[in-house]
Structure 1
Amino acid sequence: MAEAATTTTTPALPLTNAGVLDRIAGYSRQHPNDFGTPDGRDRIPMKKLMKLFEIKKTTPPETRHLFRAIVNEVCDLEIIGGIGKVLVGKRRTDADANANANANEAGGASSDAGAVGANATASGTSDSNGTSNSNSNSNSNS
């Protein structure tokens, strides 16, 4: 009976660049008109992607950080009225190159997260290492 219990549980989705992009593409194929006229880019509501990967407030901080880092690397963010935050998958060629570089770089999530930290500053989050990126963006608003 113990074997039956383990086979009925579904394993968590792989939290990788390719896994996130695959889920976004799958959702976009199933819901082609949810975001207006299709433009060839794959989209998914952020809350839906978080549910698919079981990212909650109670999820360990390391897993939440890895999820954020991957999303920052492989997705753009759009705000759509009536839906809210929508993640748009970046073009496969760019994301695949980044995924291959990260996979070859190191074996741990911490090195991937460090590499993504610089990318995250360019997309608007603050980081002590990326203040020059943030300043260059904020100077254009001054």
Structure 2
Amino acid sequence: MVQRIYATADQYEQLLFETPPADIDRRIALASRFLDANVFRYCLYTADATTGLPTNAVVAEAFALAVCVQVQWGVEVGDLTGAMGAGWGNVSIGDVQLGRSVTAVSGADSPGRQVAPAVRDALRSPDLAAAGFSMGVTVWA
């Protein structure tokens, strides 16, 4: 299986105007894989037959921005994989009490496993329609 990487550390810094975290390459790889599985696969765009990356520069930049904001989301919520939200029911630390259903033990509902709201914003640019991009479309060949 080919691992598509849609952004670079330089793009993270340029697009978000902030210094990338120390493990930015790992975070970009994880965010690329996550968005491939949860967002990009449901989009219609022209991709390179060998790399699977978007061939249109506007679409490629939108994907880079989407990956960068997904990385930023992971930094903000402090969780890349959903593991921090797995396996606990009720927790108390002093006066602070946190609780959730003990049936939610997989971490799938954790913020680390959510698509960042800004990803949708990145993929709704008016410039994308002219670039042959459509979100929410599945095509089987």
Task: Name the TM-score, length of structure 1 as normaliser.
Answer: 0.25
Structure with greater helix share of residues: 1
TM-score by length of 2: 0.25
